[in-house]
Structures are given as structure tokens and as C-alpha cells.
A and B are shown apart, each in its own frame.
Chain A
Amino acid sequence: MSVELLSVEGLSKRFADRRRTVAALDDVTFLIGMGETLGIVGPSGSGKSTLARVLLRLVEPDSGRILIDGEDWRALSPKALRQRRGSIQMVFQDPLSAFNPRTTIGKAIMDPLRIHAVGNRGARHAAIADLLQRVGLPAEMAGRRIHEVSGGQRQRVALARALASRPRLVVLDEALSALDVSLRGKMLELLVRLQVEEGISFLFIGHDPAVVRMISHRVAVMDQGRIVETGDADAVFSDPQSQTGKALIAAIPTWR
């Protein structure tokens, strides 16, 4: 029996402006299993962020298939899609801009709970407190706004919101890149713990191979819209086969 959660096949997307067309995604194919983390690395312009947006159907691809739990994700009608959205969530790079500046953190987390009818109305406030505590934040934070909490706490809030609808897959789009270096380790530990506890799969997009390697089981290297290499994270980073992989590893400052 397959334990695949996500299957992506032949995903392509071109962006055209007056002068030329750019292949943001070019025949992208990969799988993610349940409870697995797939890392995506690559230079800027390699299509990593476009991949995230296409997967979340924020942008429609030109062609390709996306199967989540065996269901054709692209074939869903707008209404059906909204109902299913709870199963795949995203944490954005900049938590400050990913939250409505006028609403409280509690309301932001309440939205997915309400939209996906998680628990009954009475239980939801307790659920918000529970989610905040699970990411290591005090329950009182629900009354504050996103710009009122510290930088390190903001991304945890974003994670709490992503977890509210009990997703099977969370896409982390450069989610740690804006965090202080000393906070990254804690955040990575939190992600792994959540994965073990909940069986969530992660698509971890990053530009720093060392960070991506920490929690990825497997990793895919992208360049100019194509996946140029896939494999076990350690294997790919210790001995990259692709040109891009080699360039990424070579670019890491050597000093120890």
C-alpha cells in the first residue's frame, strides 16, 4: 500500500512578459510520503517559491497533476477546494506581512478553526490556547497583534495558524530565512517534534543547504524551474551530482 501523501507530476508554469517567456516551473515531478520532509533548495529564480504557490493553488500551473491523498487537487471546484484547503497549509517567509495588521493573533488562528469547523464554537478558544502552547508560546498572546510580539515569536504564531486546520502537509517557504540564527535551531526542533507527534509532512523550501539538511529526509535541487537532483539529504549534500548542487555546496563559506 502506498504511503504517499503528495504526488506531483509534470508541473509546468511559464510567465510571459513582453520580451520573453520564463519557465518558472518545468516538468516538476516528485513525491512526499506521510510524515516525511522533502527539502527544496536552489538559487534564486529556480522556481522554489513558484512551486509553493502552485501547490497551494494560489497560482494555477499550465500543466501537470497534483494528487493529495490520491485526490486530484487541481480538479477541485472553487468551493470544494476551499473545503479541502485545511489539509495543506503554508508558512510564509515574512510573518509580519502574512498577518492582517488589524486583527489579533487569536482571531487569525480562529479563522481556520471556524472555516474548517474544527471543534464546536465553545471549544475553539481552548483550541487556540492549545495551539499557541504547542508552539511554545503563552496563551495570552492571542490578544496581541502580530507586530506587538517579537520577531522570534512571530514565525511560531504563523506555525500555530498553519496547524489549526490539522493539515497533512505544511509548506514552509523560506520560513526560517528571516529568523535570527540562534532561533533557527529551536524552530527546527519544534518542527521535527510536531512531525513526530502529528505525522505531518513538510515541504521545506530554503536557500541554505545546511539548514534544509537538518530536518529533511530527502531533498530536491532545483535550477531554472527543473528538478536537477533528488535523493537522501545527506547523500545529496555530501556528494552532489548536479552542477547546481555542487555550486550550492561550494558556495558555503569554509572556515572551520
Chain B
Amino acid sequence: MKTVLCNVERLSVSYRTPAGVQHALKSVNLDIFAGEKLAIIGESGSGKSTLSLALTGLLPDEALVEGRISWPGPGFDPVPGRDIGIVFQDPGSSLNPVLTIGDQVGEGARRHLGLGRKAAREKAVELLSRVRIPQPENAVSAYPHQFSGGQRQRIAIAAAIAAGPSVLIADEATSALDTIVQAEIAVLLEDLVKNGDMTLIFVTHDIGLAASLADRIAVFRTAELVECGEARTIVHEPQADYTKQLLTTHIDLDSPRLVGASYVR
């Protein structure tokens, strides 16, 4: 059956601000299973990004953390870069504009797998072709600004999986991209997870994307976990009122239009 990769137990994260203590996460209990695609849904302020930072160990020093995150799956705490990869929302700022993408993609392999320069370069070419960047042998010497937003996000994904992590976290990785590119990245992520035997945790505000891509969905609202379960169940038989609200307010092509029949000239 499904093995538990990660166990989040009563996790709370808060910050001290001039206005008082702000809670980013309140007592979250969540299991993550190996090999699954888990979607974390929420709106701004829900705590979803805090959770991905907590899982990766990237919370800022000022964060006040209670509870714990344990990793029964691997049996040890994952090292960011080697065991967990993360892709962020803005492809423009996650890549260093003055380094070639070959350097950036290969860095994970060099640092965590101990590959030398030549071997890392070959690995970078292989990774770039895996994320379907055209002409990867040329691309390794190119710079981020020479690529489109969607391509940069693919490059960021390649960099994130360079050391062969078992967990990939995509934090709103497609939110800044148009729908066509978003669909392509979603397909890519699905492929990578299947072929690479990885666990995918993706954070999004788009319930439609979550429903189409995820095995399970966890719904967050103002720092709390509202509901978690199989994607199909969450979408068709939501228990929590908030989930129901998210589903009814979701706009798709079948939603009734707000303007009447075609404009009469």
C-alpha cells in the first residue's frame, strides 16, 4: 500500500511583527505519501507557501516553529537540493541572469552528486532535453534572458531535479504563465514524477489545475488545513463549507455568463 513519505504533526509557524504575532500556519496535521501528486490549494494568506518552505527547510530564521515534520519514508531529514527540489512562481527571479543555464542546471549535480565540470555539463544537457528545451547542447551556454517565461520555468524545474531528489515541490510554479504553457508544464511535471519515481507537491490557487493533476488535495484557509482527501472526493463530495465555496465560485466555460446574449449593435 501507500507508504508515508512525510508526516507533518501539529505544525505551527508564526512571525513576530510590530502589529503582533502573525500566524502563517496553525497546528497542521498532514501525511504525504510516497509517489503521490499532492495539491495544496488556498488563497493568499492561507499558509500554503509557508508549508512548502517548511517542508524544504527554507523558512526564514525569524519564523517561530512548533510541532514537527518527520520523514519516515527516507528515514532522514531531506537535504534541500539533494533530496527535495523546489520551483517557485517567478521564473524571472529564480534564475541568476549572469550565469549560463548550463551552470545553473548543473549546480545541483555538482554540489550533491560530486560530478566534475564536464560530467555536470553532460548532465545539464540531459536534463534540459528531459524538460524539452530545444537544442539542449546549445542551450547550456545560453543565458536566462534568451528564453521565454515558460522555458525559464522548465529550466528552473531541470535545476530543481538535477541531483535526483525524491520530492519536487512546485510553489505556484505555473501561476505566472499563460494557460497554454501552464498545461504544458503540468504535463511535464506529471511525466517527471512518473518516470523519476518522485513525489510531487504542488501549491496552487487554481482548483481546476489541482483537480486535473493531483491524486490528493489539501485545502488551506487562513493558516489552517480545512480538508484533505482524494482529489475526486474533494471535488465531487466536499465536506467543508469553504471547499464547497471554492468549487462554486470557480469560473469555467460552463459558468453562466454575466452578460446577456450577444451585444446588439
Chain A residues proximal to chain B, CB less than 8 Å? 3, 33, 35-37, 42-45, 151, 180-182, 184-185, 188-189, 192, 207-211, 213-218, 232-234, 237-238, 247-256
Q: Are A256 and B252 in contact (CB under 8 A)?
A: yes
Q: List 23 A-B contacts (CB under 8 A).
A: A33-B265, A37-B259, A37-B263, A44-B150, A44-B177, A181-B251, A182-B245, A184-B249, A189-B258, A208-B251, A213-B253, A214-B257, A214-B258, A214-B259, A215-B259, A218-B263, A233-B262, A238-B253, A253-B211, A253-B212, A255-B208, A255-B212, A255-B235
8 interchain residue pairs of minimum CB distance: A253-B212, A217-B263, A255-B211, A251-B183, A180-B43, A251-B179, A253-B208, A207-B178
Q: Are B259 and A252 in contact (CB under 8 A)?
A: no
Write the chain B residue with the least CB distance to A253: B212
Write the chain A residue with the least CB distance to B41: A181
CA distance A207 to B149 in the complex (A): 14
Query: For the complex, is B34 an interface residue (Cβ under 8 Å from A)?
Result: no
Q: Are B179 and A207 in contact (CB under 8 A)?
A: yes
Q: Are A44 and B258 in contact (CB under 8 A)?
A: no
Q: Are A181 and B180 in contact (CB under 8 A)?
A: no
Say which residue of A209, A211, A218, A251 sits within 8 Å of B182 (CB atoms).
A251
Write the chain B residue with the least CB distance to A3: B265
Query: For the complex, is B96 an interface residue (Cβ under 8 Å from A)?
Result: no
CA distance A178 to B79 in the complex (A): 33
Most chain A beta carbons < 10 A, residue from B178, B205, B255 = B178
Say which residue of A151, A214, A232 sits within 8 Å of B251 (CB atoms).
A214
Q: Are B252 and A210 in contact (CB under 8 A)?
A: yes
CA distance A248 to B252 in the complex (A): 13
Mask: chain B, 174-207; 1 = CB below 8 Å from A; 0 = not: 0001111111001000000000000000000111
Q: Are B263 and A43 in contact (CB under 8 A)?
A: no
A151 contacts across to B, CB distance below 8 A = 44
Q: Are B253 and A211 in contact (CB under 8 A)?
A: no
Q: Are B262 and A43 in contact (CB under 8 A)?
A: no
A33 contacts across to B, CB distance below 8 A = 263, 265
Query: For the complex, is B30 an interface residue (Cβ under 8 Å from A)?
Result: no
Q: Take A44-B178, A253-B212 as given contacts and tell me if A181 and B246 are in contact as well, using a CB distance cutoff of 8 Å.
A: yes
Q: Are A210 and B255 in contact (CB under 8 A)?
A: yes
How many residues belonging to B are interface residues under a CB distance threshold of 8 Å?
Answer: 37
CA distance A254 to B8 in the complex (A): 30
CA distance A252 to B179 in the complex (A): 7
Q: Are B259 and A181 in contact (CB under 8 A)?
A: no
Chain B residues proximal to chain A, CB less than 8 Å? 43-44, 148-150, 177-183, 186, 205-209, 211-213, 235, 245-246, 249-255, 257-259, 262-263, 265
CA distance A216 to B263 in the complex (A): 9
Write the chain B residue with the least CB distance to A208: B179
Q: Are B183 and A181 in contact (CB under 8 A)?
A: no
Tell me the smallest distance from the CB of B95 to a CB of chain A, in Å: 17
Q: Take A180-B205, A254-B212, A255-B212 as given contacts and tell me if A44 and B253 are in contact as well, using a CB distance cutoff of 8 Å.
A: no
Q: Are B257 and A234 in contact (CB under 8 A)?
A: yes
Tell me the smallest distance from the CB of A189 to a CB of chain B, in Å: 6
Most chain A beta carbons < 10 A, residue from B183, B186, B253 = B253
Most chain A beta carbons < 10 A, residue from B179, B205, B207 = B179
Q: Are A184 and B43 in contact (CB under 8 A)?
A: no
Q: Are B43 and A182 in contact (CB under 8 A)?
A: yes
Tell me the smallest distance from the CB of B46 to a CB of chain A, in Å: 9
Q: Are A211 and B212 in contact (CB under 8 A)?
A: no
Taking A234-B262, A255-B208 as known contacts, 6 extra A-B pairs with beta carbons closer than 8 A to each other, sorted by chain A number, are A37-B259, A188-B251, A209-B179, A214-B258, A253-B213, A255-B235
CA distance A250 to B186 in the complex (A): 13
CA distance A238 to B235 in the complex (A): 23
Write the chain A residue with the least CB distance to B213: A253
Q: Are A44 and B148 in contact (CB under 8 A)?
A: yes
Say which residue of A189, A217, A238, A253 sits within 8 Å of B262 (CB atoms).
A217
Q: Are B257 and A233 in contact (CB under 8 A)?
A: yes
Q: Are B179 and A181 in contact (CB under 8 A)?
A: no
Write the chain A residue with the least CB distance to B231: A255
CA distance A180 to B251 in the complex (A): 12
CA distance A188 to B183 in the complex (A): 25
CA distance A188 to B150 in the complex (A): 28
B181 contacts across to A, CB distance below 8 A = 43-44
Write the chain B residue with the least CB distance to A217: B263
CA distance A233 to B257 in the complex (A): 10
CA distance A211 to B208 in the complex (A): 13
Q: Are A253 and B265 in contact (CB under 8 A)?
A: no
Say which residue of B177, B211, B251 sits within 8 Å of A211 (CB atoms).
B251
Q: Are A192 and B259 in contact (CB under 8 A)?
A: yes
Q: Take A180-B43, A210-B255 as given contacts and tell me if A252 and B208 are in contact as well, using a CB distance cutoff of 8 Å.
A: yes
B235 contacts across to A, CB distance below 8 A = 255-256
Tell me the smallest distance from the CB of B136 to a CB of chain A, in Å: 21
